[in-house]
Amino acid sequence: MKYAIKFIVTVCSLSFLLLSCNAINKQKNTLSTNGSSMETASLKVDEKEDIHKISNNEASASFKVKGAEMISFRTNNLEYIWQADPEVWPRHAPLLFPIVGQLKDKEYIYKGQTYPMKQHGFARDNDFKVVEKNRNQHYF
């Protein structure tokens, strides 16, 4: 199960990097990834709010430990993620795993054993631990 979550968060990190990739080498300090140039990225951890941030000169992304939820993706001062207005909907971009929706009677059967399952699964409501991080990626 942890590998599926790691894959999903990695996809978010890769999406961040691909969207922020700069084909023109504007600075001397660049990283090379598959033939493209990308300005050096940085990371920041806000321990009191359990928010992890990655950024470079083109874009930034922030993730909460709660649900490994992406709470911000910005390029050129434009925010792409819903900012969780509690009067409308209090979440940003929740990770719905292992199901989307609700099961009949809120339970499933596996190998003859019945288990409870909340709407949209369990990932969005659990605290995740960062198991690996670098300037371009965070693995929860």
Query: How many Å is the maximal CA-CA distance in the chain?
Result: 60
pLDDT at residue 123 greater than cutoff 80: yes
Res 55: pLDDT: 86
pLDDT at residue 102 greater than cutoff 60: yes
Whole-number Cα distances in Å, 106 to 20, 39, 101, 111, 113: 40, 47, 10, 17, 14
Res 48: pLDDT: 58
Global confidence as pTM: 0.62
pLDDT in tens, 27-61: 333 333 333 333 444 555 555 568 888 888 889 99
